[in-house]
Structure 1
Amino acid sequence: MQSKLETKRTGAKGFKRKRYWIPSVVLILIIGFIGVGTQWTPKITVFLLKSLIETANPDMNNKDTMLSDGITRVVDVLYADEGRNDSTLDIYYPSVTSEPLPVVLWVHGGGWVLGDKADITEYAVQLAKQGYVVVSMNYALAPDTTYPTPVIQTNQALMYVKNHVSEYQGDPDNIFLAGNSAGAQIASQTAAVVTNPSLAKLMNITRVAQPDDLRGVLLFCGPYNLSTVAETGFPLIRTFLWSYTGVKTFEDYPRLNEMSTVLQVTAAYPPAFITSGNVDPLTSQSIELAQVLKRLDVDTETLFFSNSSEKLGHDYQFDLKSDAGQQAIRSAVRFMQQYSR
């Protein structure tokens, strides 16, 4: 009798040990699957990154964000005839104005895999308060859509702005192209398409604007030499460019040179305002682009905070409560005032 009881107790303990052991094995298998999977496709890493960001910022794409008095916002305007659900834009402008206003077409950042046009709402409102029409566009995200689709879409958005921005108090002859992070790369390349006929031909893009149609570009914290960008150590840059190019070893991608703005700019490139934080890993890329433009005698204004004791990271400009953020937006506005018609 005692022997049977001991056997039963021993069996119960063994069952308990198995009960805790099984979830551990499942967890190990899941981690192993993710680890192996990330070597075959960037989609797993991108999915996990998106999930993490959405969990940390559940209201980041809330369209009910309060706007300042006197600013009108029109959302989800379709800019391309194809009717893609990512070919939409939001427009911010002063509700009352006596004359057509300069226009800023903004391309959001997010490593070509993340982000939304609503991300810059606060910044767009502040620019609109300064007397600008701000057009914030969406574009197809990698890895589901790869290069060069976002550049083609930005070209389409530029055409929409030229044809329709007058309906929103904007001046179609006073357009600035802007972007942050990966959006700065897309914006800078689109400006190169407009001003470099050889690049437009190479990419098989019909230019919708003439070089003089772009009054300037405003480039915040972007990568502009994709052959060397991995050397900056920017977090997840290999995953981002694997997603965008579709090639894991993206340095071998045959179209990498046409994506590198430093190799495609000409003397016809529009005046440029280029800025990046002093501890942003991508700042060396901004410095390189500025140097190339200056050698071509393109009017170029820079803001790099090299002598600042404040540590300014990636996309520092969106912190409008900081002195650096305020300096950046003042400098950007001053730049646009200088080059507006």
Structure 2
Amino acid sequence: METKRTGAKGFKRKRYWIPSVVLILIIGFIGIGTQWTPKITVFLLKSLIETANPDTNSKDTTFSDGITRVADVPYADEGRNDSTLDIYYPSVTSEPLPVVLWVHGGGWVLGDKKDIADYAVQLAKQGYVVVSMNYALAPVTKYPIPVIQANQALTYVKNHVSEYHGDPENIFLAGNSAGAQIASQTAAVVTNPSLAKLMNITPAAQPEELRGVLLFCGPYNLSTVANTGFPLIRTFLWSYTGVKTFEDYPRLHEMSTVLQATAEYPPAFITSGNDDPLTSQSIELAQVLKRLDVEVETLFFSNSSEKLGHDYQFDLGSDAGQQAIHSAVRFMQQYSR
């Protein structure tokens, strides 16, 4: 497959979530991070990342490609507790467009909706309304609040996305890294009544309104994720669950999509890089869904000589990044109503 190395004119290659220099510093904390309390470790990580990534995207914008962004829209609680979202949509369209509700990554403790700004613009240019949501971060706020917030954001999308040319009955849930876990669990809440009852959540959408999920580089079996060796995963899950030995957390099974997916789970696009420690988690989820006869499309690069690490898909200057976004768009075209 031949792919272009750049997206729209003016698109810049950008490392998302953690620049390489910060990643090196984070890896240096691994040996001591699990001994410190989550608050200390997360404070240091946030300080480093905020220094490396100043906030330059928190305003409404009309891009040169005809894409409009409306920023910091409250979706619950008047925006308190990070309950805000950014909406990207084509300024001119003749019909309602499919909607992508995106949950950002960051180990449940880091990240922001603005982190996917460039990616959201590229998806919007393909004819989608992209809603990038914030949620409350650990360790200050713990599980299951982000899943509840994802359901609240879904409620907002259902009620208001038509104001931005979106089709409220044609929704895809998407996420990267920890955001993929949250998105995948939210999809399970929508399609698994037992899980919704267990979590005391009333799903914001009907199963048929959720057309699919797009899951990039996430963890989906939290009882085994520590075995992947992903940097600081124990500190991240200690922060999110409030339990240092998080494998003993009594609600861990709720968070593991491999245990909560049913035959009603929506069609899934699942991808991860061949040099990402979490890829085994994506493979396991794909296998579980296929056994349930759920429609699944995967992209894993097992035969590629290029090493593709965590969140590889955001590098749209690479062939793999281009292949991922084209594959994701084709998937959504196939399952849009």
Do these two structures clear the TM 0.5 threshold for a shared fold by scoring above it?
Answer: yes
1:116-148 Cα shifts (integer Å, max 9, x gaps): 000000000000000000000000000000000
Could you list the structure 1 runs, at least 4 aligned residues long, displaced by more than 6 angstroms after superposition.
5-38
So what's the TM-score if we normalise by structure 2?
0.89
Aligned partners of 1:54 and 1:60 also within 8 Å: no
CA separation of 1:334/1:48 partners in 2, compared to 1, >3 Å: closer, same or farther?
same
1:184-225 Cα shifts (integer Å, max 9, x gaps): 000000000000000000101111211111000000000000
1:5-47 Cα shifts (integer Å, max 9, x gaps): 9999999999999999999999999999999996352110111
Q: Secondary structure at the match of 1:63?
A: coil
Aligned partners of 1:68 and 1:125 also within 8 Å: no
Deviation at 1:67, TM superposition (A): 3.0
Aligned partners of 1:74 and 1:92 also within 8 Å: yes
Aligned partners of 1:188 and 1:217 also within 8 Å: yes
Give the Cα–Cα distance (whole angstroms) in 1 for the partners of residues 15 and 325 of structure 2: 59
Q: Residue 304 of structure 1 corresponds to which residue in structure 2?
A: 300
Gaps of 5+ in 2: none
Gaps of 5+ in 1: none
Task: Determine whether 1:17 maps to 2:13.
Answer: yes
CA separation of 1:332/1:39 partners in 2, compared to 1, >3 Å: closer, same or farther?
same
Aligned partners of 2:223 and 2:247 also within 8 Å: yes
Give the Cα–Cα distance (whole angstroms) in 1 for the partners of residues 160 and 4 of structure 2: 81
Aligned residue-pair number: 337
RMSD, matched Cα: 13.6
Deviation at 1:85, TM superposition (A): 4.3
Deviation at 1:50, TM superposition (A): 1.1
Q: Greater RCO between the two (CA within 8 Å, min separation 6)?
A: 2
Deviation at 1:256, TM superposition (A): 0.3
CA separation of 1:340/1:51 partners in 2, compared to 1, >3 Å: closer, same or farther?
same
More helix by share: 1
Q: Secondary structure at the match of 1:13?
A: coil
Give the Cα–Cα distance (whole angstroms) in 1 for the partners of residues 62 and 137 of structure 2: 27
Give the Cα–Cα distance (whole angstroms) in 2 for the partners of residues 159 and 134 of structure 1: 15
Give the Cα–Cα distance (whole angstroms) in 2 for the partners of residues 97 and 6 of structure 1: 29
Could you say which structure has the larger radius of gyration?
1
CA separation of 1:198/1:19 partners in 2, compared to 1, >3 Å: closer, same or farther?
closer
Deviation at 1:151, TM superposition (A): 0.1
Q: Secondary structure at the match of 1:98?
A: coil
CA separation of 1:68/1:197 partners in 2, compared to 1, >3 Å: closer, same or farther?
same
CA separation of 1:47/1:171 partners in 2, compared to 1, >3 Å: closer, same or farther?
same
Identify the range of structure 1 (7-16 vs 206-215) with the bigger mean alpha-carbon deviation.
Answer: 7-16
Calculate percent identity across the aligned residue pairs.
Answer: 91
Aligned partners of 1:38 and 1:44 also within 8 Å: no
